[in-house]
Chains A and B, each alone.
Chain A
Amino acid sequence: MGGSAEGRIRLTILGGFLGSGKTTWLRHQLHAGAYAHAVIMVNEAAETPVDDALLGRSDRLVVLAGGCCCCAGRDRLIEELRRLCDERSRDSVSADRFDGIVLETSGLADPAAIVEAIRADPVLVHHIVVAEIIVTVDALHGLAELRGEPLGRRQIEAATRLVLTKTDAAEPAGIARLLATLATLNPAAPVEATARGSEIALPDLPPAEAEDLPDLAGATSAPIFPIRIELGEDIDWTAFTVWLSALLYARGDDVMRAKGVVRTPAGRLLLQSVRKVVQRPEILPPQPDREDDTIVLIGRGYTEQQIRASLDYFVRASHS
């Protein structure tokens, strides 16, 4: 038997702000063969999970939906981790015994709060060791998030490794400024640049200074919350996209994230946006047992009632 650290389960926490590319990065790692024998846990703040549809390569997937696991969903996370520890302790011989856990947090989670919760738990503290805290940073929107979101800064500060995502879509000057700013927040964490999950070389970067981030202590901003919209089976894709494209154009800084799977005559489409940027929908293979046609919007600055009434207007008023 090895020492206590070797006997414990290695937990990798994958964090990062809303839409910063956590699932894309993890999907590529699984495709490339990493974490092959790990249990993948996916936590989503909304009640409707979407990311699990993309992580089908993992052998073992646990979904914790309907509450961020650093706050509202913390008890469920602890309970699930305890169950996994128990399972592994009882099964010490089988070949498919898992060798670690990867926890993909929701975009609203503070990784440090999760580490604290594990350390404070009398069972988990003896069974789990946090091996790595990987935090994804969006090369396009990262600076804006660091300027305005205290949570964005806390995620960076908690990281042991930073993964810069969407590097191919950002300007070198913006990347240079973001990297300089990251170095002031967390000088110890190495940074790797990626595009669609795989590591790429950084372009030649101009010299840049770190952003002088405003002091957000005491600043009160409205909480970020998810809204789940069921579009129904006979979804009017066209009216819906007229509405969503206008909404993101006018309110893209408030509607920070939209994601969902919608069935259309052209197939099952994975729709996702980060602020004003909408990804070209991926066409997902059929999966009869899943509940589709639901979109989750995550943001602030509006009410659920406004969102529903507005969508209803676009879909119905135009029929009259």
Chain B
Amino acid sequence: MCASCGFPAAPGHWTEAGAAEPHDRLRARFRRSQVLRAVLPSYGLSAHDGGIVPGIQLSSLTGGETIVRNLEDLWVAAERMCGRPVDPLDPRFTGAARS
């Protein structure tokens, strides 16, 4: 396997590759929480990341709770908790439900 013909890869999970410095990383975590809070409630879920301990806390209205490492794990856990995947092409996000 060749490791020299490509460019170096960003460390960590791919969704977190946009921030390299500590302050950028913290800002990205808060922003991630903000986006998740706009998306998850319609599925009966909520997410919290206080920026202190690693991971994202995912909770359901029915009392389910788990901590996930990254967004990839979050969508798996979200499907397990609410019985279907969070689908960005659901009419609630594409505007079809509002028209």
Interface string of B17-47 (1 = CB under 8 A from A): 1111100100010011011111100000000
Contact of A245 among B9, B72, B87 (CB under 8 A): B72
A27 touches B1 (CB 8 A): no
Decide yes or no whether A200 CB sits under 8 A from chain B: yes
Interface string of A236-250 (1 = CB under 8 A from B): 111101111111011
A313 touches B93 (CB 8 A): yes
Secondary structure of the A contact surface, majority rule = helix
**Nearest B residue to A269 by beta-carbon distance?**
B17
CA distance A283 to B12 in the complex (A): 13
Count of chain A residues near B, Cβ 8 A? 56
**Nearest B residue to A30 by beta-carbon distance?**
B5
B8 touches A283 (CB 8 A): yes
**Nearest B residue to A285 by beta-carbon distance?**
B7
Beyond A242-B32, A247-B89, A310-B88, whether A195 also contacts B1 by CB under 8 A is yes
Beyond A197-B2, A251-B89, whether A241 also contacts B15 by CB under 8 A is yes
Task: Give the interface centre of B6, B9, B88 by most chain A CB atoms within 10 Å.
Answer: B88
Contact of B14 among A197, A279, A284, A306 (CB under 8 A): A279
Q: Closest approach, in angstroms, between the C-beta of A117 and any C-beta of chain B?
A: 31
Decide yes or no whether B62 CB sits under 8 A from chain A: no
**Nearest A residue to B30 by beta-carbon distance?**
A238
B85 touches A250 (CB 8 A): yes
CA distance A307 to B86 in the complex (A): 15
Beyond A28-B5, A31-B4, A238-B28, whether A281 also contacts B10 by CB under 8 A is yes
Decide yes or no whether A271 CB sits under 8 A from chain B: yes
Interface residues of B in 36-82 (CB under 8 A from A): 36-39, 71-72, 75-76, 79
CA distance A193 to B85 in the complex (A): 35
Residues of chain B within 8 A (CB-CB) of A170 are none
Decide yes or no whether A270 CB sits under 8 A from chain B: yes
B89 touches A239 (CB 8 A): no
**Nearest B residue to A249 by beta-carbon distance?**
B75
Contact of A281 among B3, B9, B35, B88 (CB under 8 A): B9
Residues of chain A within 8 A (CB-CB) of B31 are 236, 238-239
Contact of A266 among B17, B88, B89 (CB under 8 A): B17
Residues of chain B within 8 A (CB-CB) of A236 are 31
Residues of chain B within 8 A (CB-CB) of A270 are 7
CA distance A309 to B2 in the complex (A): 40
Contact of A237 among B5, B28, B36, B96 (CB under 8 A): B28
B2 touches A242 (CB 8 A): no
B75 touches A283 (CB 8 A): no
Q: Closest approach, in angstroms, between the C-beta of B57 and any C-beta of chain A?
A: 16
B18 touches A238 (CB 8 A): yes
Residues of chain A within 8 A (CB-CB) of B21 are 265-266
Q: Closest approach, in angstroms, between the C-beta of B68 and any C-beta of chain A?
A: 12
Q: Closest approach, in angstroms, between the C-beta of B26 and any C-beta of chain A?
A: 12
**Nearest A residue to B21 by beta-carbon distance?**
A265
Could you give 9 example pairs across A and B, Cβ below 8 Å?
A: A31-B4, A241-B18, A242-B71, A246-B88, A250-B85, A265-B19, A278-B14, A282-B6, A283-B8
User: Across chains A and B, which 4 residue pairs bring their CB atoms closest together, nearest first?
Assistant: A237-B18, A31-B5, A318-B38, A264-B18
14 new A-B contacts at CB < 8 Å, known A31-B4, A246-B86: A31-B5, A198-B2, A200-B1, A238-B28, A245-B15, A245-B71, A246-B88, A249-B72, A249-B85, A250-B85, A250-B87, A266-B18, A278-B14, A310-B88
